[in-house]
């Protein structure tokens, strides 16, 4: 039995609908959109009703607007609302109906100015950083080789420059006269030429004038025969720039070469890896310095408690000195590497990465300064190991001199304050701020700067006018200044060297 097939090409299919779009229904099947269209139609009908138009035209406009609002809200055409049809009609009437296609020229990537930089960045990303650094160092040490032709060309160029260089000796015009007289018989084919005046650069010696000699006719005849036997050679003026092949070692201004400007930028991965390597070196160096400082202090205590033989003490000092010199060299290399990394950070374009890496470099520089202070302490310990007697005498003399000076110049109540300050921690700056009448100033800002003028601490005084740093500051010179309203204070210099610092009194001048 044959299958009854129906042709489906002429059958109309429904328009695709957005099944995911759900409209909120207010009353029954009435949606908010339909309700808004009805409301707009009612408002339009009311406005036409209240206008002063004639009754005939008034009812015509009312019926048209009411029917249009009902049709837009409830009557779809081919499963599409009337509002969709109206919007599509307006777009079709307004939109342009003629399009013009123009081809835009886009040059190949290898003709672009930054193509060399793109290739270099791709190579850098594919090459490991360590092997790339080693390759750059190796290529920088290889001298540039020259072929035989390049050497010959460079030699010729040096000869040309030497030939056209300015002489340093004065020039004397010399007249070259012919060896024969025009009145004598001359062979045919030769013409008499006027004397040629040339400029020859020669030194001026003190020589006697040559004597004029008589010319013999037979001598002239023999010379003329020699001139006839010489073949004629035509000399042409040729340009010096004409060469048999292209000269590769000419200067840039003589060659027609195209200079493609490219910017050399170091990728942030290389800079980040170098900074990471510096952090590892700094941490290992810090451990070595701390160990050496601890060992030197222990050795100093042992020598002071139990004096050893001079040879044994000297061998210890030599060993410590050798270690100290090695650590000092490593610290200097690390400082130079940090300076180089700081300069490389300026070439980075990524501001976020640049800021993060600059913070790490600043931290490393701070730790490097602390290493310098530890090395100074190690050097001091080594000096005390070498000269224990002189150091002990100097310490006793200095202590006695300080006590005498305090007893002479300071009143009893100030001695008590100094003794209290001696109990404070080392490198802690503290003090009070007063106005010109001696009253304590509250909420005065105290700024502590280092020798380079950078702000190290910013403090504010309490109700008693007191200020104090919570942590110790590094060794070095500092300045302390106060700010409070329009009052002026003197700037006080403070030196921190690992000892308790005396209280500072900041009193306003005006």
Residue listed under structure tokens 């010379």: 223
**pLDDT at residue 305 above 90?**
no
pLDDT (0 to 100) of residue 226:
67
Q: Which residues contact 469 (CB under 8 A, 6 or more apart)?
A: 428, 429, 430, 448, 457, 459
**pLDDT at residue 261 above 50?**
no
Name the band, by pLDDT with cuts 50, 70 and 90, for residue 67: very high
SS3 annotation, 85-113: HHHHHHHHHHCCCCCCCCCCCCCCHHHCC
- Pairing type for strands 171-176 and 430-434 reads unpaired
Residue listed under structure tokens 């701020």: 433
The structural domains of the chain, with segments of one domain joined by +, span 25-94, 268-392, 425-507
Are the C-beta atoms of residues 445 and 482 closer than 8 Å to each other? yes
Q: What is the pLDDT of residues 372-426, one digit of tens each?
A: 777 777 777 777 777 665 555 445 545 444 544 444 444 555 545 544 544 457 8
**pLDDT at residue 208 above 50?**
yes
Name the band, by pLDDT with cuts 50, 70 and 90, for residue 5: low
What is the assigned CATH class of domain 425-507? Answer: mainly beta
Q: Which residues contact 82 (CB under 8 A, 6 or more apart)?
A: 71, 72, 75, 76
**pLDDT at residue 468 above 70?**
yes
Provide the whole-model pTM: 0.28
What fold, for 268-392?
Methane Monooxygenase Hydroxylase; Chain G, domain 1 (1.20.58)
Name the band, by pLDDT with cuts 50, 70 and 90, for residue 464: confident
Strand (E) or helix (H) holding 212: none
pLDDT (0 to 100) of residue 47:
92
Q: What are phi and psi of 348, to 5 degrees?
A: -75, 145
How far is residue 420's CA from residue 426's CA, in Å, rounded to a whole number? 13
**pLDDT at residue 267 above 70?**
no
pLDDT (0 to 100) of residue 246:
47
* DSSP single-letter state for residue 481: E
When the pLDDT of each residue in the chain is averaged and rounded to a whole number, the result is 73
The predicted model gives 78-94 an average pLDDT of 89
- Strand, coil or helix: 132: helix
Token pair recorded at residue 315: 């061998």
* DSSP single-letter state for residue 501: P
Nearest C-alpha neighbor of 455 from the set 434, 483, 485, 431: 483
pLDDT (0 to 100) of residue 331:
78
């Amino acid at each position: 039995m044959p299958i009854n097939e129906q042709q489906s090409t002429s059958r109309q299919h429904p328009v695709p609908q957005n099944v995911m779009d759900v409209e909120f229904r207010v009353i029954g099947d009435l949606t908010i959109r339909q309700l808004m269209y009805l409301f707009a139609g009612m408002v339009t009908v009311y406005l036409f009703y209240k206008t002063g138009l004639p009754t005939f035209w008034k009812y015509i406009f009312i019926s048209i607007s009411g029917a249009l609002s009902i049709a837009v809200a409830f009557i779809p055409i081919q499963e599409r609302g009337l509002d969709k049809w109206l919007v599509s009609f307006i777009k079709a009437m307004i939109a342009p109906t003629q399009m013009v296609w123009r081809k835009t020229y886009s040059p190949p990537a290898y003709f672009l100015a930054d193509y060399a930089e793109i290739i270099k960045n791709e190579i850098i990303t594919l090459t490991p950083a360590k092997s790339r650094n080693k390759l750059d160092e190796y290529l920088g040490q290889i001298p540039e080789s020259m072929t035989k032709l390049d050497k010959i060309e460079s030699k010729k160029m040096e000869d040309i420059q030497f030939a056209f260089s300015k002489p340093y000796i004065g020039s004397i015009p010399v007249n070259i006269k012919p060896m024969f007289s025009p009145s004598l018989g001359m062979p045919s084919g030769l013409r008499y030429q006027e004397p040629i005046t040339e400029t020859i650069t020669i030194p001026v010696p003190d020589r006697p004038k040559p004597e004029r000699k008589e010319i013999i006719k037979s001598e002239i005849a023999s010379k003329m025969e020699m001139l006839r036997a010489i073949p004629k050679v035509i000399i042409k003026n040729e340009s010096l720039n004409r060469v048999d092949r292209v000269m590769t070692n000419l200067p840039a201004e003589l060659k027609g070469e195209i200079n493609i400007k490219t910017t050399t930028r170091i990728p942030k991965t290389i800079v980040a890896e170098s900074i990471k390597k510096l952090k590892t070196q700094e941490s290992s160096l810090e451990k070595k310095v701390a160990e050496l400082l601890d060992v030197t202090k222990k050795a100093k205590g042992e020598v002071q408690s139990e004096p050893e033989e001079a040879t044994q003490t000297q061998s210890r000092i030599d060993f410590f000195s050798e270690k100290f010199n090695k650590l000092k060299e490593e610290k200097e290399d690390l400082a130079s590497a940090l300076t180089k990394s700081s300069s490389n950070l300026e070439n980075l374009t990524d501001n976020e990465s640049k800021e993060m890496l600059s913070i790490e470099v600043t931290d490393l520089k701070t730790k490097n300064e602390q290493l310098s202070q530890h090395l100074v302490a190690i050097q001091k310990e080594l000096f005390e190991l070498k000269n224990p007697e002189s150091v002990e005498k100097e310490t006793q003399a200095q202590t006695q001199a300080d006590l005498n000076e305090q007893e002479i110049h300071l009143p009893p109540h100030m001695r008590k304050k100094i003794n209290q300050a001696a109990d404070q921690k080392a490198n802690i700056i503290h003090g009070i701020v007063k106005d010109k009448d001696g009253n304590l100033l509250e909420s005065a800002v105290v700024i502590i700067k280092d020798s380079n003028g950078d702000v190290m601490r910013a403090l504010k005084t309490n109700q008693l006018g007191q200020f104090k740093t919570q942590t110790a500051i590094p060794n070095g010179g500092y300045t302390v200044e106060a700010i409070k309203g329009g009052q002026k204070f003197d700037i006080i210099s403070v030196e921190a060297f690992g000892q308790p610092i005396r209280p500072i009194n900041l009193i306003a001048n005006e």
